[in-house]
C-alpha cells in the first residue's frame, strides 16, 4: 500500500538473489547468503524440529492413548490443549532465555513443550471417537487391552492423531525460527540476528521459513496417508463422495 | 524500500532502553536477577500502551477474520464443491509461520498495525471458517425439513434455522481463534506493530534480557487469553443457554 509495485518486486527479487548468491556482509567482513549458508541454517532448523517433534510424540502419544482408552482424564487432556494454545511462543522462548538459559538442549525442550498439547489432546479425542462397537468386537475376539489399543484404537484414530502431530510440527518449526534468540542458529538468524544480512536477508529468511513449514506439512500429510488404514481411507472417500 | 531495515528493532543492543536505577523496593532492577514486582508496579504506564495495542490487534483481526470467514461460508453454502477449496486455501496460509507472514507482507503493505492485522486476520480465517461450516453441517435434517414445511425459502431457512442452530460451533471457533491470536500477536513486533511483543522482546530480550519485562509481558498475554476465553464461555451461556458449552 505504501510502496509501489516496482519496489515490491525489487524486494522479492533481492531476497531470492540472497538465497542463491553469496554476497558481502554488511558491517563486518565475510560473505553471507547463498545456498551453502541457507542449507546450513535450514538443516539446523530441520533436525532440532524433528528431534523435538519425536520426543513430543514419544511423550504425548502413550499418555493420550492410555487416558483415551480408559476414557478418563478428559478435563486434563482438554485443558492441556487449551493452555498450549494460550502460551505465546515468544513468551516461552523469552522466559527460557531469562531463567533457564540458552543452547540446543533448552531450545529442544521448549520446542517439545509446544508440540505436546495438540498431540496429546488429539490422541485422546481420536481414541474416544473410535466406535465402541469395534472395541467390544475386538474384546470379544479375545484381544488383550494392549491389543485393543494397538490394533483397533490406534489405527482408527490415525487421522485425528496425525492432525494433532501436524499442528504440533508446524508450531515447532515456526518457533524454531525464534530459537535464534536463544543461541541456536536456525533460519531465524536471517531475521533475528539480522545486522549483517540486510533487508534482502530478512525477507529471504521469511520466505525460506514459510517454504520449510509448507514442506513439513506436505511430508506429514504423506505420512498420514501411509499410516491411515486402507479401510478407513475408503470409508472416508465414500463419505466424501456422497456428501 | 529504502530505510525499511533501519527502522526494524532487530538486534539486541545494550543501552537501547535505559533502566532507571531503582531505590528501596525497586533496587532489584539494577541486579536483574529476579522479577522486580515493586518496579513493575511503579512503572505501570510502560505496560499500558502495549496492552491496549495488543487488544486492538486481537479485536480488529478477529472481527475482520469473522467477517471474511462468514462471507466465505455463505458463498460455499449450497455450493459444496467450494468448501474443500476454501479449506485448502485458508489451510495453506495457516501453515505459514506467523513471523514469516509478517515479514513477507512488510514490503507489500509497509510496517505497522495494518500489516499485523492483515496477517493475523489471514490466520483466523481457517479456524473460523471451518467452525462455521461444521456448525451448518451439523444442523439436523429434521430442523431443515420443519422449516421447509413452514414454507420458508432457502434464504429464510439459512438465517432463521441453520445459522441460529450453528451458533455454538461458531462461537467455539471464535474462541479458539481469539485465544490463539492473543498468543500469535506477540510476534507483531516484527511487523512494527507494537503490542505485548514490545514488552517481551524490545523491553525484555533486547534490553539485556530484562527479566521483569519478560515476565510482565508474558503474564499480561496469558491473562488476556484467559479473560477472552472466560468471556466467550459466558457469552455462549447467554446466547444459547440450552446448549452445554463445548470444552474444545
Residue A176 pLDDT greater than 90, yes or no: yes
Q: What is the pLDDT of residues A41-60, one digit of tens each?
A: 999 999 999 999 999 999 99
> Do A177 and B200 count as a contact with CB atoms less than 8 A apart?
no
At B61-90, the pLDDT tens digits run 999 999 999 999 999 987 888 999 999 999
pLDDT of residue A41: 92
What's the confidence (pLDDT) of residue B243?
A: 62
- A91: nearest CB among B98, B100, B221: B221
Nearest-CA distance B23 → chain A (Å): 23
DSSP-assigned beta bridge partners for residue A24: A31
- Kindly report the average pLDDT of chain B as a whole number: 84
The mean pLDDT of A144-158, rounded to a whole number, is 90
CA distance A142 to chain B (A): 35
- Is it true that domain A34-229 has CATH number 1.10.3720.10? yes
Note the pLDDT of residue B1: 38
Are A209 and B10 within 8 A, CB to CB? no
Is residue B13 assigned to a domain?
no
Question: Average of pLDDT values for A162-171?
Answer: 94
Q: A75-98: buried (b, 16+ CB within 10 Å) or exposed (e) per residue? A: eebbebbbebbbbbbbbbbbbbbb
Question: How far is it between the farthest Cα atoms of chain A?
Answer: 73
pLDDT at B238: 84
Percent of chain A residues past pLDDT 90, beyond the cut:
48
Looking at residues A73-97, what average pLDDT do you find?
88
Residue A177 scores a pLDDT above 90: yes
Pick B23 or A170 by higher pLDDT.
A170
Task: State pLDDT tens for residues A215-242.
Answer: 999 999 999 999 988 878 777 777 655 4
Nearest residue, CB atoms, B222 vs list A8, A74, A87: A87
pLDDT band of residue A119 (cuts 50, 70, 90) is: very high
**What tens digit of pLDDT does each residue of B191-204 get?**
989 899 999 998 88
Query: B27 CA to chain A: closest CA distance, Å?
Result: 19
pLDDT band for position B241 (cuts 50, 70, 90): low
Q: Which residues of A touch B176 (CB under 8 A)?
A: 85
Mean pLDDT score of chain A, rounded to an integer?
88
Q: What is the pLDDT of residue A226?
A: 92
CATH number of the structural domain spanning residue B98? 1.10.3720.10
Does B21 fall in a domain?
no
Domains identified in chain B, total number: 1
Of B181, B185, B183, B186, the closest CA to residue B213 belongs to B186
CA distance A66 to A59: 11
Q: What is the rounded distance in angstroms from the CA atom of residue A191 to the CA atom of residue B187?
A: 12
**Would you put residue B35 in left (φ > 0), alpha (ψ -120 to 50) or beta?**
beta
Q: For residue B5, give the chain A residue with the closest CA.
A: A199
In a domain, B12, yes or no: no
pLDDT higher than 80, residue B94:
yes
Among A91, A177, A210, beta carbon nearest to B186: A91
- Give the N- to C-terminal CA distance of chain A in Å, as an integer: 42
User: Does any domain span residue B5?
Assistant: no
**In B, which residues are within 8 Å of A243 by CB distance?**
80
| pLDDT at B100 > cutoff 60 | yes
Of residues B5 and B63, more confidence is placed in: B63
Residue B120 confidence (pLDDT) above 70 = yes
For range A15-35, the mean pLDDT: 82
Domain assignment present for residue B103? The answer is yes
Average pLDDT (B90-109) is 91
Report pLDDT for A35. Answer: 85
Answer whether A212's CB lies under 8 Å from A43's CB.
Answer: no
Q: Do B10 and A192 touch (CB under 8 A)?
A: yes
Residue B58: closest CA among B232, B247, B225, B233:
B225
* A residues 14-73 closer than 8 Å to B (CB): none
DSSP calls for A187-224: TTHHHHSGGGTHHHHHHHHHHHHHHHHHHHHHHHHHHH
pLDDT classification of A111: cutoffs 50, 70, 90 = very high
Which of A3, A11, A94 would best serve as a mutation to test chain B binding (most B beta carbons within 10 A)? A94
Residue B117, domain extent: 45-239
Say yes or no to pLDDT of B13 above 70: no
Please identify among residues 65-104 of chain B the ones whose CB lies closer than 8 Å to any CB of chain A: 80, 92, 95-104
Whether the per-residue pLDDT at B245 is higher than 70: the answer is: no
Residue B203, pLDDT score: 86
- Whether residue A4 is predicted with pLDDT greater than 70 in this model: the reply is no
Alpha carbon separation from A46 to A41, A60, A92, B73 (Å, rounded)? 9, 21, 20, 36
CB interface of A with B, residues 185-224, below 8 Å: 188, 191-195, 198-199, 202-203, 205-207, 209-210, 213-214, 217
Q: What is the pLDDT of residue A103?
A: 87
Phi, psi of A23 (to 5 degrees): -145, 170
Residue B192 lies in a domain: yes
pLDDT band for position B222 (cuts 50, 70, 90): very high
pLDDT above 70: residue A132: yes
Q: Is residue B188 within 8 Å of B123, Cβ to Cβ?
A: no
Q: What is the DSSP letter of A184?
A: -
Residue B26 has pLDDT above 70, yes or no: no
Q: Are B111 and B7 in contact (CB under 8 A)?
A: yes
Q: What is the pLDDT of residue A242?
A: 45
ipTM, two decimals, is 0.86
Confidence tier at B3 by pLDDT (50, 70, 90): very low
Domain ranges of chain A: 34-229
As a whole number of angstroms, the distance between CA B122 and CA B90 comes to 7
Amino acid at each position: 500500500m505504501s510502496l509501489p509495485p516496482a519496489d515490491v518486486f525489487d524486494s522479492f527479487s533481492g531476497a531470492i538473489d540472497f538465497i542463491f548468491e553469496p554476497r558481502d556482509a554488511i558491517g563486518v567482513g565475510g560473505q553471507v547468503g547463498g545456498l551453502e549458508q541457507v542449507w546450513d541454517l535450514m538443516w539446523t532448523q530441520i533436525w532440532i524440529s524433528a528431534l523435538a517433534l519425536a520426543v513430543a510424540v514419544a511423550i504425548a502419544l502413550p499418555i493420550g492413548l492410555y487416558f483415551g482408552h480408559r476414557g478418563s482424564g478428559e478435563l486434563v487432556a482438554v485443558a492441556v490443549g487449551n493452555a498450549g494454545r494460550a502460551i505465546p511462543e515468544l513468551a516461552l522462548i523469552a522466559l527460557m532465555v531469562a531463567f533457564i538459559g540458552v543452547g540446543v538442549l533448552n531450545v529442544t525442550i521448549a520446542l517439545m513443550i509446544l508440540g505436546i498439547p495438540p498431540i496429546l489432546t488429539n490422541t485422546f479425542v481420536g481414541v474416544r471417537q473410535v466406535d465402541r462397537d469395534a472395541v467390544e468386537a475386538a474384546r470379544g475376539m479375545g484381544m488383550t487391552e494392549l491389543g485393543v489399543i494397538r490394533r483397533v484404537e490406534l489405527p482408527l484414530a490415525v487421522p485425528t492423531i496425525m492432525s494433532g502431530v501436524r499442528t504440533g510440527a508446524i508450531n515447532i518449526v515456526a518457533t524454531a525460527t525464534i530459537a535464534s534468540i536463544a543461541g541456536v542458529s536456525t533460519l531465524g538468524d536471517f531475521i533475528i540476528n539480522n545486522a549483517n544480512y540486510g533487508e534482502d536477508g530478512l525477507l529471504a529468511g521469511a520466505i525460506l521459513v514459510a517454504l520449510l513449514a509448507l514442506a513439513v506439512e506436505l511430508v506429514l500429510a504423506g505420512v498420514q496417508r501411509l499410516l491411515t488404514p486402507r479401510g478407513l481411507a475408503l470409508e472416508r472417500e465414500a463419505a466424501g463422495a456422497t456428501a | 524500500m529504502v530505510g525499511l531495515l533501519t527502522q526494524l528493532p532487530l538486534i539486541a543492543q545494550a543501552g537501547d532502553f535505559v533502566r532507571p536505577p531503582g531505590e528501596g523496593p525497586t533496587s532489584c532492577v539494577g541486579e536483574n536477577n529476579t522479577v522486580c514486582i515493586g518496579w513493575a508496579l511503579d512503572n505501570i504506564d510502560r505496560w499500558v500502551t502495549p496492552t491496549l495495542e495488543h487488544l486492538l490487534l486481537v479485536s480488529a483481526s478477529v472481527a475482520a477474520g469473522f467477517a471474511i470467514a462468514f462471507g466465505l461460508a455463505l458463498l460455499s453454502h449450497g455450493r459444496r464443491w467450494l468448501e474443500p477449496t476454501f479449506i485448502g486455501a485458508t489451510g495453506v496460509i495457516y501453515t505459514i509461520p506467523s513471523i514469516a507472514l509478517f515479514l513477507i507482507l512488510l514490503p507489500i503493505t509497509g510496517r505497522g498495525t495494518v500489516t499485523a492485522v492483515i496477517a493475523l486476520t489471514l490466520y483466523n480465517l481457517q479456524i473460523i471458517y471451518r467452525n462455521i461450516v461444521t456448525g451448518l453441517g451439523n444442523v439436523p435434517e429434521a430442523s431443515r425439513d420443519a422449516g421447509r414445511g413452514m414454507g420458508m425459502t432457502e434464504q429464510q431457512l439459512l438465517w432463521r434455522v441453520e445459522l441460529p442452530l450453528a451458533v455454538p460451533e461458531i462461537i467455539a471457533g471464535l474462541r479458539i481463534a481469539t485465544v490463539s491470536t492473543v498468543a500469535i500477536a506477540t510476534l507483531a513486533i516484527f511487523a512494527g506493530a507494537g503490542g505485548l511483543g514490545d514488552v517481551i522482546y524490545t523491553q525484555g530480550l533486547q534490553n539485556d534480557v530484562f527479566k521483569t519485562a519478560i515476565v510482565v509481558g508474558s503474564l499480561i498475554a496469558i491473562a488476556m487469553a484467559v479473560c477472552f476465553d472466560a468471556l466467550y464461555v459466558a457469552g455462549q451461556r447467554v446466547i444459547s443457554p440450552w446448549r452445554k458449552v463445548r470444552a474444545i
